[in-house]
Structure formats: C-alpha cells, structure tokens
Copies of this chain bind each other. A is one copy, B any other.
C-alpha cells in the first residue's frame, strides 16, 4: 500500500490491536502487518509517536517490562480507551457508508 493512506485512521487501528490484549510497540507493528495481509507495514516513526499520543490522551496506559535483557513498553487499553475505540469504530462505519454513497453511481464503479 502506498504511503500515508491511513491518514486519520491510525488511532483506531492501534486501539483495535491493543484491545486484543496488551502489546508493546514492536508487536503492534507486526500484528498490523499480519492482520492486514501485509497491507499495513508501518514505520516506527509513525507508530511510536502515535502510541505516545494515545497514552497522553488517556486511551492507553503502559509499563516497562524486561524480558531477557530487552526492555519493552507494554501498552494496554484503559476504560476511556475502550469507549473511544467503540466510538471511532462507529465513526469508521459511518465514514465508509458515506463514501459508498458518493462512490456509487460513478462510471468506473462496478454497478452495485
């Protein structure tokens, strides 16, 4: 997938992945790659700042852990994060619905 197509929807992706169980940043990246069928291969410079952002917003919470000498910051969803995830999910559905409405009827669109 070509660059920055996920503009504005990254937060939802991250919340979705973490909602499956606590994960550290690197693992989040891998999980996104797997679940999207290699479509989302996000650079660290995208994901780490986003996780920080979500924590600052109170949607995620984290603690340091150490596993065989490697330090990891483990993120888990907060109550507030769960609520936000649900809202953003609904938002996403509305968005795709609206897009479909606009896209339907254009010549190049395979008819309904």
- Residue pair A95, B8 in contact (C-beta under 8 Å): no
How many copies, total? Answer: 2
Q: Which of A16-24, A46-54, A59-67 contacts B (4 or more CB under 8 A)?
A: A16-24
Q: Which residues of B contact A17 (CB under 8 A)?
A: 102, 106
* Chain B residue nearest to A102 in the complex (CB): B35
| A79-112 with Cβ < 8 A to chain B | 82, 85-86, 89, 91-92, 94-99, 101-109
Asked whether A91 lies within 8 Å of B36 as measured between CB atoms, the reply is no
- Residues of chain B lying within 8 A (CB to CB) of residue A6: 8, 95
Q: Is the CB of B101 within 8 A of A35?
A: yes
18 A-B interface contacts by CB (under 8 A): A2-B91, A5-B95, A6-B95, A7-B8, A13-B102, A17-B102, A17-B106, A19-B107, A20-B106, A20-B107, A36-B98, A36-B101, A37-B97, A37-B98, A39-B94, A39-B95, A89-B108, A89-B109
